[in-house]
Homo-oligomer: A and B are copies of this chain.
Amino acid sequence: MALPLDAALLVELERIKRLKYAYLRCLDQKLWAELRALFVDDATASYGGGRYEHDDADAIVDFISDAMGDPGVHSSHRVTHPEIDLTSPTEATGTWALDDTVIDTRFDVTVRGAAFYEDRYVKVDDRWLIAHTGYKRTYEEVFPRTSIEGLVLTASWWSTRGRSELG
């Protein structure tokens, strides 16, 4: 059962949304220490629609930083459509829609997809943290970037320090 929505609850929802936004910013900016601090120690995760399962915050962050840590990996993970319910004053569930793009210049591939997250959050010492995160894919697709003639990368957070070299 969800607690009834009122102004005090809205404050909690905003704080939970910011937790999720910080998670995604850390993911796409490769901020691993800040990312780690967003999880409870025994957090669980299910990525790739259940293909990758983890049951420890350190293992989650290790998995992500291994997969995404190389500066050739350029990612945009964007969530929208939060449907968040507090199930107690210190527990919440959240559904989100995800659209993500990963451009990996090491292998010259683009991966794109869409998914729905099902998360759980807990409030510890007045801070909301991620207890579980996981998503199931609506679709995912991959293509070699050489298949689109003239496709070029004109900016990179890492190799051009975020500056456009277009035109």
Minimum CB–CB distance for A22 against chain B, Å: 7
Known: A29-B116, A151-B141. A166 touches B111 (CB 8 A): yes
Residues of A bordering B, CB below 8 Å: 5-8, 10-11, 13-15, 18, 20-22, 24-25, 28-29, 48-51, 74-76, 78-83, 95, 97, 99, 101, 103, 111, 113-116, 135-144, 147-157, 160-164, 166
A163 touches B50 (CB 8 A): yes
Interfacial chain B residues near A11, Cβ < 8 Å: 5-7, 10
B140 touches A154 (CB 8 A): yes
* 4 nearest A-B pairs in the assembled complex, by CB-CB distance: A136-B162, A76-B114, A140-B155, A49-B163
A142 touches B154 (CB 8 A): yes
User: In the assembly, what is the distance between CA of A39 and CA of B163, in Å?
Assistant: 24
Interfacial chain B residues near A99, Cβ < 8 Å: 76, 78, 99, 101
Minimum CB–CB distance for A145 against chain B, Å: 9
Interfacial chain B residues near A82, Cβ < 8 Å: 21
B157 touches A142 (CB 8 A): no
A142 touches B116 (CB 8 A): no
User: In the assembly, what is the distance between CA of A149 and CA of B153, in Å?
Assistant: 19
With CB as the reference atom, state the residue of chain B lying closest to A18: B83
B143 touches A81 (CB 8 A): no
With CB as the reference atom, state the residue of chain B lying closest to A111: B166
B139 touches A156 (CB 8 A): yes
Interfacial chain B residues near A28, Cβ < 8 Å: 97, 114, 116, 138
